[in-house]
């Protein structure tokens, strides 16, 4: 929680107000960024409005809050000996004896950590908090992730409307975190502390402070991509407060998990922090699917609290999991559109892989971040990251063709068989080894020219990513192909995997004439420069305009394997320019009304690490996708930051849309233009004392407006018309031996179409979750979480011809300690 102390001098001086800011957290929220990030603003410009009545509820204290850096120490006048009045919990006035013999009355105003409007974006290119940033921004705060016992990025993003998880397609069938925002691909738009994370893996949340989703095109800030938006993860880094947090969880699906978070201040300006995780679990409601992973993330800061500081972070995560490509989608004779086979009685637990399916990844990222307050006008930042990604991937991509579908709906459904090799004869297993480097240098200048206040941001961004894959071959791919739809068997006698060069004829046949190749090598380089200025023409009105220029270069090579097919060497270069303009009306520090217009560009070769074929002989000359956003919104932080409200209406237009054929894996230039427009609402914070809630709602009207005749007028794939989330908790008798916190929520997503022609559809998702927790003293906590309590058949990862059933009913118990 954020605690605002409002003091007024009683005698003999005239009425005056001094302010300090404290930060305390509900148990389980570390005294770190989880609290500081939501409270990173000082209380200035506080105004008194006559004499206040002495009331016990601290929300009646009258203070204004203004975003600014936190003062390191309270004002000298505020220091002294405190004598607390009758209210033992601090919800009321406190008398302070000043050094000059006067007395001051202190009122405490406690803000809610659930109100995310005061959360800083955490990027040098976006230096304001959520409230003062003219864009739709959803934040998953630390306290929410702890209450829900969130364990991965995917679980955290269930709280954000407009996010859909998708699995990859075609030869090479990518998995890992593959998200769509407002229906548009965002697999290359995942960032940690403002730097791109190029890896293809399932991200564990053990090192997360909070997660921010910045919706709408943001190429001016992040570079190429970000059609639907960007996902930024703020990690746990060293703070001034020493602490040790540990937790252990166990429950359904042979689930075991342990985490550790240790922070120690070594000197006045050096602090060290390390977080760690070990996790083993099976997927409740799915056969054979599991994940065994561990991770560690040490970090150190030099210059803590100083004008010049440098933070070094390292992340390692090892994961060995079974990939799950779900169940096929079929169209029943006479039906309007296809549905998952599980809607027709096929068991939700059915898994169509083999014993050779595996997704084993190792991720190592080293990051350095410089923050230098050059003077009172200019602050300089330089962020650098190097990454190493290693991955062995083997998966079965099931599909149910016309023969399979006909058998399913016949009098003998037990005869239905699915193909495990997708539409391109594969994928075959492969070993992927990548490395990447990125450096973003920027400067933020704040100054005045006469009565006009300015904030200028400029810098450059350089990134390079290299991807190399070796394809392996099955010794007898024909016996691997078929699986019974109703009773699949994973073990196939006589099947084995060998090096592709020893058996090139069994290598997957890459489409577009590339042929059976053993090696695929890709690389991409982006050099960008960006600049923006925000000018306050009046204290209540400002204009912000900016642009980013990028030079993008990528290449793709397919070599080795079948010698009779020539090797393939392709390249592409793009120069892109993306502008952004915003108008902001801020009548006070709690309110903003804004208009935002932005553009973004997505070159075809952008997805080097997480695309099956970044380039092909047919598509290497395609023009990039272009998107444009128009948005009007309002944000209001009410009741002394206890509750935050947001509302926005937007129109997102995308031109030159790319499509992936599910049967061939081929990327084509559809020429389609797509439009998604809608309304998004949210409320977050403390509704009443001890009652917290965060709720979101989105209404989308999506449509293909031009291009392929069969697609025109149809709803954009993966975009629901309605989506909503609610999570609420209530504390019963807090700070007493019989305390109890109860809460729960619902996640709802209306059914969505799975293809541009709207011939396949997945039903609505409705999931009910709950939590009950109890604190033993001030250090220990026990909790139980329930997920999908109705055991409803929901669907998570989506693609055009298959979907993955979500978790069944599950319960997790957690014991945690905080010192």
Among 228-232, 705-709, 773-777, the range scoring the smallest mean pLDDT is 705-709
Interval 77-90: pLDDT, tens = 333 333 333 333 33
Which residues touch 641 (CB under 8 Å, ≥6 apart)? 2, 4, 65, 111, 112, 115, 117, 118, 590, 685
The model's confidence at residue 183, banded by pLDDT at 50, 70 and 90, is confident
Cα distance between residue 682 and residue 635, in whole Å:
10
Looking at residue 790, the DSSP 8-state letter turns out to be T
Binning pLDDT at 50, 70 and 90, where does residue 43 land?
A: very low
- Residue 602 banded pLDDT, cuts 50, 70, 90: confident
Decide if 261 contacts 272 (C-beta within 8 A). Answer: no
Give yes or no for a contact between 605 and 556, defined as CB atoms under 8 angstroms apart: yes
Q: What is the pLDDT of residue 76?
A: 33
- Find the mean pLDDT for residues 691-699: 95
Q: Specify the DSSP class assigned to residue 69.
A: P
At 389-419, the pLDDT tens digits run 999 999 888 889 999 999 999 999 999 999 9
Is the model's pLDDT at 303 over the cut of 60? yes
CA angle 355, 358, 364 (to 5 degrees): 160
Please state which of the ranges 68-72, 605-609, 683-687 shows the lowest mean pLDDT.
68-72
**CA-CA distance, 680 to 728, in Å (whole number)?**
19
The correct answer on CATH 3.40.50.2300 for the domain covering 137-818 is no
For residue 222, the 8-state DSSP code is H
Residue 464 has a CB neighbour count (10 Å cut-off) of: 17
Q: Average of pLDDT values for 455-483?
A: 92
The reported pLDDT for the residue numbered 667 is: 55
The span from the CA of 391 to the CA of 320, in Å, is 10
Q: φ, ψ for residue 406 (rounded to 5)?
A: -60, -40
CA pair distance 286, 222, nearest whole angstrom: 37
CB atoms within 10 A of CB 343: 17
Tokens 């594969």: give the residue.
426
Q: Identify the residue with better confidence: 171 or 142.
A: 142
Q: Cα 538 to chain center, whole Å?
A: 35
Q: Identify the CA nearest to 769 among candidates 711, 812, 705.
A: 812
Q: Tokens 């564990």 correspond to what residue?
A: 204
DSSP structure class, residue 205: -
Given a contact cutoff of 8 angstroms between Cβ atoms, the answer to whether 678 and 650 are in contact is yes
Pick from 29-43, 200-214, 343-357: least confident: 29-43
- In this prediction, residue 531 has a pLDDT band, given cuts at 50, 70 and 90, of very high
Burial class (CB in 10 A: 0-12, 13-18, 19+), 419: buried
* Extents of the domains making up the chain: 137-818
Look at residue 154 and give its three-state secondary structure: helix
């Amino acid at each position: 929680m954020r605690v605002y102390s409002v003091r007024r001098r009683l005698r003999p001086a005239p009425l005056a107000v001094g302010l300090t800011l404290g930060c305390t957290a509900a148990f389980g929220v570390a005294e770190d960024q989880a609290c500081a990030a939501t409270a990173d603003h000082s209380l200035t410009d506080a105004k008194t409005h006559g004499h206040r009545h002495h009331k016990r509820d601290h929300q009646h204290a009258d203070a204004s809050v203004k975003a600014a850096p936190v003062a390191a120490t309270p004002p000298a006048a505020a220091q002294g000996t405190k004598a607390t009045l009758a209210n033992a919990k601090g919800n009321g006035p406190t008398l302070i004896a000043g050094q000059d013999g006067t007395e001051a009355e202190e009122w405490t105003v406690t803000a809610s950590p659930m109100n995310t409007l005061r959360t800083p974006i955490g990027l040098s290119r976006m230096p304001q908090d959520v409230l003062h940033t003219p864009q739709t921004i959803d934040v998953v705060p630390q306290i929410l992730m702890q209450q829900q016992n969130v364990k991965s990025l995917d679980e955290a993003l269930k709280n954000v409307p407009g996010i859909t998880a998708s699995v990859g397609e075609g030869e090479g069938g990518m998995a890992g975190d593959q998200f769509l925002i407002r229906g548009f691909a965002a697999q290359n738009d995942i960032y940690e502390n403002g730097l791109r994370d190029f890896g293809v893996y399932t991200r564990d949340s053990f090192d997360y402070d909070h997660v921010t989703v910045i919706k709408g095109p943001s190429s001016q800030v992040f570079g190429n991509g970000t059609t639907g938006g960007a996902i930024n993860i703020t990690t746990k880094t060293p703070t001034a407060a020493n602490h040790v947090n540990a937790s252990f969880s166990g429950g359904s699906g042979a689930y075991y998990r342990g985490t550790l978070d240790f922070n120690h201040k070594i000197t006045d300006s050096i602090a060290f922090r390390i977080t760690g995780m070990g996790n083993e679990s099976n997927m409740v409601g799915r056969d054979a699917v599991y994940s065994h992973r561990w991770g560690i993330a040490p970090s150190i800061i030099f210059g803590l609290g100083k004008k010049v500081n440098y933070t070094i972070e390292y992340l390692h995560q090892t994961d060995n999991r079974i990939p799950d490509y779900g169940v096929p989608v079929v169209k029943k004779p006479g039906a309007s559109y296809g549905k998952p086979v599980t809607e027709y009685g096929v068991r939700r637990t059915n898994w169509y892989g083999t014993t050779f399916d595996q997704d084993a990844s190792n991720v190592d990222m080293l990051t350095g971040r410089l923050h230098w307050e050059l003077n009172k006008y200019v602050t300089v930042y330089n962020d650098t990251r190097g990454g190493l990604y290693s991955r062995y991937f083997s998966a079965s991509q099931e599909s149910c063709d016309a023969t399979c579908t006909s058998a399913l709906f016949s009098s003998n459904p037990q005869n239905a068989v699915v193909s495990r090799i997708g539409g391109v004869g594969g994928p075959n297993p492969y070993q992927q080894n990548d490395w990447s480097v990125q450096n973003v240098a920027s400067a933020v200048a704040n100054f005045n020219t006469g009565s006009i206040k300015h904030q200028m941001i400029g810098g450059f961004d350089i990134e390079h990513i290299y991807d190399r894959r070796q394809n392996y071959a099955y010794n007898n791919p024909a016996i691997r192909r078929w699986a019974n739809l109703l009773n699949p068997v994973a073990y196939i006698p006589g099947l084995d995997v060998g090096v592709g060069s020893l058996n090139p004829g069994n290598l997957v046949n890459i489409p577009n004439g590339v042929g059976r190749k053993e090696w695929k090598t890709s690389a991409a380089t982006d050099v960008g420069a960006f600049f923006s200025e925000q000018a306050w023409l009046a204290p209540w009105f400002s204009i912000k305009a900016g642009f980013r220029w990028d030079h993008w270069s990528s290449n793709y090579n397919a070599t080795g394997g079948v010698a009779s097919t020539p090797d393939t060497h392709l390249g592409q270069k793009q120069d892109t320019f993306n502008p952004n303009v915003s108008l902001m009306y801020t009548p006070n520090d709690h309110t903003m009304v804004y208009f935002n217009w932005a553009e973004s560009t997505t070159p075809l070769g952008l997805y080097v690490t997480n695309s099956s074929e970044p380039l092909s002989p047919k598509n290497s000359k395609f023009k990039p996708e272009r998107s444009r956003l128009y948005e009007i919104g309002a944000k209001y932080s009410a009741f002394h930051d206890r509750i935050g409200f947001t509302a926005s209406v937007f129109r997102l237009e995308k031109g030159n849309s790319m499509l992936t054929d599910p049967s061939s894996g081929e990327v084509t230039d559809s020429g389609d233009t797509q439009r998604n427009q809608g309304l998004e609402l949210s409320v977050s914070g403390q509704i009443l004392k001890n009652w917290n809630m965060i709720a979101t709602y989105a209404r989308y009207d999506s449509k293909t407006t031009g291009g392929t005749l069969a697609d025109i007028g149809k709803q954009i794939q993966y975009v629901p018309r309605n989506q909503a989330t609610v999570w609420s908790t209530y504390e019963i008798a807090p700070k007493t031996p019989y305390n109890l916190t109860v809460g729960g929520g619902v996640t709802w997503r209306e059914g969505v179409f799975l293809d541009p022609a709207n011939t396949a559809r997945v039903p609505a998702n409705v999931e009910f979750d709950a939590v009950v927790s109890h604190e033993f003293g001030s250090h220990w906590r026990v909790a139980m979480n329930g997920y999908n309590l109705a055991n409803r058949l929901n669907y998570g990862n989506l693609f055009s011809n298959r979907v993955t059933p979500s978790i069944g009913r599950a319960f997790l118990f957690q014991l945690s300690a905080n010192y």
